[in-house]
Structure 1
Amino acid sequence: MMCGAPTPTQPATADTQAIADQVRAQLEEKEKKFPMFKAVEFKSQVVAGRVFFIKVQVDDDNFVHIRVFESLPHENKPLALASYQTHKGRHDELTYF
């Protein structure tokens, strides 16, 4: 992995789901309650911390792309929902937003 470049898209892991779960309430405050919240795939990027781009399935045919910022460990800050895109489909590519 090149420093600063996002990783290729990868299947979501238990760690990815845990990250998505930690920012779910932040997203639902801005949008609505979702019947499901299943991380499907992700990319990450090392910056002054780390950025995660995660595709999340929120019902049978709808997905949300979320961008989550993880600060450096010494900053001791919680994960933050930096941005999101709604009305995405299963085949929409995760891109920088």
Structure 2
Amino acid sequence: MMPGGLSDTKAATPEVQHMVNQVKPQFESRENRKCPMFTAIVYKTQVVAGINYFIKVEVSKTDYVHLKVFKSLPHENQDLSLVSFQTGKTKDDPLTYF
């Protein structure tokens, strides 16, 4: 992977699901809706001054969202940040940079 480029798509891991669980309140607050389902499906990463995670999340049987989550470098000791998101996605929509 070239610096700044997106990684290949990978299946979500327990660590990625944990990250999604941590930013769920930020998403729900900004979107003004509650999501009983919030399951990470796949993700890509981008190395910057930290790591951007692009994560496809299932919010219902037919509705998906794409999250961009920033994880700072360990020495910065900052919480995960929901940078942006895209709603109205489907299971088949590819994860792309946004």
Which residue of 2 is the match for residue 59 of structure 1?
60
Identity across aligned pairs (percent)?
51
Counterpart mapping for 1:4-83 below 5 A: 4-31=4-31, 32-83=33-84
Opposite residue 57 of structure 1, the aligned amino acid is E
**Across the two proteins, how many residue pairs are aligned to each other?**
97
Aligned-pair Cα RMSD in Å: 0.8
Segments of structure 1 that go 5 or more residues without pairing to the other structure are none
Measured against aligned partners, the alpha-carbon deviations of 1:32-67 in whole angstroms (never above 9, x if no partner) come to 101200000000011000000000000110000000
Segments of structure 2 that go 5 or more residues without pairing to the other structure are none
Q: Matches of 1:41 and 1:71 in 2, distance apart?
A: 20
Q: Give the alignment's TM-score, normalised by structure 2.
A: 0.95
CA apart distance, 1:3: 2.5
CA apart distance, 1:2: 2.7
Measured against aligned partners, the alpha-carbon deviations of 1:18-44 in whole angstroms (never above 9, x if no partner) come to 111110000000111012000000000
The 10-residue stretch of structure 1 (42-51 or 2-11) with the greater mean CA deviation from structure 2:
2-11
